[in-house]
Each structure stands twice: as C-alpha cells, then as structure tokens.
C-alpha cells in the first residue's frame, strides 16, 4: 500500500460527526490539518479529539468557542489547555502516563482517524516522531485511518520504534514547516535554589536522574553543575533544558547504568530550540516509548535512581496534590507516581517531592502544607509512597514514620508563620497523640 498525498482540506473532509480523532502529543500535534478541520465546523457535530501538552492554540477550540462542534480531551495540560479548561473547552483524562499505550490497546475503542506531525520520510521509508515517542506506536496500531503532516523542523530522534513506516500510512498532507513549540524556562527563584541545593547534596556520583517539569527540578540541574557530581545517568519521562545542560557539561556519561548504558533515555523533550538541537541525530540520546521509560519495574533496574518532582500542596500525612487546585485542573498526574515508586524500588534510590512553603492567592500568603487538602484536590502521590519532602526550610523522609511523626516533620518544613496553627490543628484532630514525644 502506498500513502496518498492529499490536501489538508481533503484530509479534513474524511472526518464525520461523532468520530474520535487523535492528535498525538506535544510536538507531534498537527497544525495544518487542525486549521482545515476547524473550517468545517458547521458541517460537524460531537467530534472528539485526544491530545496532550498542546504547545500552541488549537484551531478546533479557537474557532468553536462555545464547543458546539469539537471537544478536546487532554492526557496532560499545558498552560494553554489549562486556560481552555477554565473556559470549559478542554477536558482531562486521568492516567498514569506510562500506562497510556495499554489504554489504547486494551480499553479504548479504535481511533477513527489519527493525525500526527512528523519529520519528513527518511531513506528507510520511516517518518520519525522526533523527540516525542510517548504512545504514538499504540495510536497507529489502533487507528482506522492514519494521516501524517511532515514538518522539516521536527528534530530527528533515535529511539525504539520512534517512527511510522510509509506502509502503515493512508494519507500525507504538506506541513507548514513552522518551528517547534518551545517551553519557556523562567529564572529560578531564591527559594527554588535553596530547595535545589538541599536535593543536590543528596545526589551521588553515578546516580540516574529523572527530572520533572518546573523551576525547582530544573534548578537542581544547575546546582549539580556547581556540586561537581560525576558519571550521572538519565532515565526520565521528560527531557528538560536542565538535563540538556548537564549532558553538554560532560557530567552525564550513563556509564554506571544497568539498562541502556551510555544512553540518555527519555520519552519526550520539551524546552528550547537548544534542547531540540542537542537531541537531534544524537546517538547518545534514546527516545523510547512511555511504557518503557515510566514503568516502575524498568526504572528500578538502574541503581541510585533519583526522582525529583514538584507538588503544589501537601497535607500533614504526606499526601501530595500536584495537579489541581480544588476542582480546577492544572496539569496532570503524568509520571510522578510511577517514578516515585520506581526510584524507591531502585537500589540506593531516592524520590524527592519539592515545594515552596507558601504561595500567594488574591493578595494573601497561604501555606502549601495544610491539615486538609483543598476540597476537590487530586492526590497525585499517596502518603504511603511519599519519601523525601523538601521545602526551603528543610528536608524530611516520611518512609516508616507514624502519622504523628509525619505531621511534626511536615510542620517543621512549613513557613514559621503557620507552624503554631498547624500544630494546634494536628493535636485537635488526633494526628498527634497527647503527651507523645519523639
């Protein structure tokens, strides 16, 4: 079978009301097709689209602000998707990110049409996904119709099944070749650096890193440069600018990894053009499928795994709510819980959940460490899984601690202005038994 070259308008004409479409994730989301599909809105009803980490506005949302024709559901919110969720135009799909390929293969109905942006076809007849492997193999297997939108700006990334052969493609449309979307890296705050310094002091030579999204985890990479740690490995979900910086500095060799020795293993990259250039045709980098990068039984096979992730709120028993503000969804579960578990199971492994002690809301300073989570908040990491918790006021390991010990340890990590009230609440609610000392 030979893929047919058609226009974006012809491709969009294949969509019928009630269909499930798949836009893939991150840099693989189509733009030319998306615009052509939005132009057909008056002819269509109840078209549902799965996507993830949209890096630029989606025409099907922008041209259908009331949601009369298209409905977008995301596996993980970008800032854009968060805003559209606030406006009632984007829904979330709960998950463990590393399980998504299995969802497509076992639980979801076949995808009616999959539309992915890729690099141009290579000499072997493959269209490379670039640094965004994730669950695209499973999407291709599930789809009744496969449409590709090649783009010359997609970096070429080596990896396991990181592309689709032309024999599996039904239609090809010409891409617009616009630059890949970038994720800004805000300057680390002083609190970020204090927290990062505490974590960096726990990272040993030969450790294998997973770095989550956000200023604090990225700041750890900068502090590791200052600390002079050597022979680091990388086995991560997201390849960040901080990890790219560590690699370019020569601190990353992967020489002590048990799996994929010498390789930087990741499932998607999101950051600056410099990061994409670092990964482009680089044999040291291996872009794997997410059910490999994120599976705890895979993660644990490397020694000294260090998992570093953010949270936005934690209760006095150690439940980490990292993805919502009440019923307002912010981001997603992603791979946080899977890497927390994989790092714990690794020989010498450590998982860190980091947060600033306070935040500002409506001009009021509030504590991120609380007696009870905000009503509606989603628990991303259960108390039974939380290991190290780090704020600018210190670090505590909750493993093996009683509820009372946890409460006291977390109160000590909170801002001093909130400690007295938190301790009073902990006693009132019997988290800390009367008269106990440790």
* pLDDT tens for each residue of 75-123: 999 999 999 999 999 999 999 999 999 999 999 999 999 999 999 999 9
Please report which confidence band the pLDDT of residue 185 belongs to, taking 50, 70 and 90 as the band edges: confident
Average pLDDT value for residue range 374-383:
98
Q: What is the C-alpha separation between 247 and 66, in angstroms, rounded? A: 46
User: For the chain, which residues make up each domain, given as ranges?
Assistant: 4-172, 190-428
* pLDDT tens for each residue of 235-276: 999 999 999 999 999 999 999 999 999 999 999 999 999 999
Q: Is 237 a catalytic residue?
A: yes
Q: Are the CB atoms for 400 and 344 separated by under 8 Å?
A: no
Q: What is the reported pLDDT for 2? A: 80
104: DSSP letter: I
Nearest 5°: phi and psi at 414?
-80, 170
Strand partners, 126: 165
Please report which confidence band the pLDDT of residue 330 belongs to, taking 50, 70 and 90 as the band edges: very high
CA diameter of the chain: 77
What own/partner pairs with CB < 8 Å and gap ≥ 24 does 102-110 have? 102/138, 102/291, 104/135, 104/138, 104/139, 104/141, 104/142, 105/138, 105/141, 105/142, 108/142, 109/20, 110/142, 110/143, 110/144
Q: Please provide the CATH number assigned to the domain covering 190-428.
A: 3.40.1080.20
Residue 288 predicted with pLDDT over 80: yes
The superfamily (CATH) of domain 4-172 is Glutaconate Coenzyme A-transferase (3.40.1080.10)
Q: What is the reported pLDDT for 1? A: 59
* pLDDT tens for each residue of 350-366: 999 999 999 998 999 99
Out of 237, 323, 392, 423, the active site residue is 237
For the chain, the average pLDDT equals 96
């Amino acid at each position: 079978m030979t893929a047919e070259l058609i226009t974006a308008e012809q491709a969009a004409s294949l969509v019928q009301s009630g269909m499930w479409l798949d836009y893939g994730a991150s840099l693989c989301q189509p733009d030319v097709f998306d615009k052509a599909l939005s132009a057909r809105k008056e002819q269509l009803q109840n078209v549902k689209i799965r996507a993830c980490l949209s890096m630029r506005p989606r025409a099907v949302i922008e041209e259908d602000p009331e949601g009369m024709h298209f409905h977008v559901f995301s596996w993980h919110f970008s800032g854009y998707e968060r805003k559209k969720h606030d406006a009632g135009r984007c829904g979330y799909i709960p998950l463990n990110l590393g399980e998504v390929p299995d969802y497509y293969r076992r639980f979801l109905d076949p995808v009616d049409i999959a539309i992915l942006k890729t690099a141009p076809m290579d000499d072997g007849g493959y269209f490379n996904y670039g640094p965004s492997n994730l669950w695209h193999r499973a999407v291709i297997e599930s789809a009744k119709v496969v449409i590709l939108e090649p783009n010359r700006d997609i970096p070429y990334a080596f990896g396991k099944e990181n592309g689709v052969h032309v024999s599996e493609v039904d239609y090809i449309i010409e891409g617009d070749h616009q630059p890949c979307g970038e994720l800004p890296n805000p300057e680390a705050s002083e609190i970020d650096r204090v927290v990062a310094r505490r974590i960096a002091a726990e990272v040993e030579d030969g450790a294998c890193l997973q770095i989550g999204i956000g200023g604090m985890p990225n700041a750890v990479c900068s502090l590791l440069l200052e600390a002079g740690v050597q022979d680091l490995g990388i086995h991560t979900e997201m390849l960040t600018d901080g990890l790219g910086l560590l690699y370019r500095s020569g601190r990353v060799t992967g020489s002590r990894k048990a799996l994929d020795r010498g390789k930087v293993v990741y499932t998607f990259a999101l950051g600056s053009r410099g990061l994409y250039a670092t990964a482009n045709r680089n044999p040291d980098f291996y872009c794997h499928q997410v059910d490999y990068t994120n599976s705890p039984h895979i993660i644990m096979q490397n020694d000294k795994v260090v998992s570093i992730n953010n949270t936005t709120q934690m209760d006095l028993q150690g439940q980490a709510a990292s993805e919502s503000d009440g019923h307002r969804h912010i981001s997603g579960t992603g791979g946080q819980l899977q890497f927390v578990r994989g790092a714990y199971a690794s020989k010498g492994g450590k998982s860190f959940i980091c947060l600033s002690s306070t935040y500002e809301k409506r001009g009021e300073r509030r504590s991120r460490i609380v007696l009870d989570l905000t009503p509606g908040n989603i628990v991303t990491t259960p108390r039974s899984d939380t290991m190290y918790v780090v704020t600018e006021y210190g670090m505590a390991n909750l493993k093996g601690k009683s509820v009372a010990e946890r409460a006291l340890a977390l109160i000590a990590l909170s801002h001093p202005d909130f400690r007295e009230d938190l301790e009073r609440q902990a006693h009132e609610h019997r988290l800390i038994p009367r008269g106990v000392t440790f």
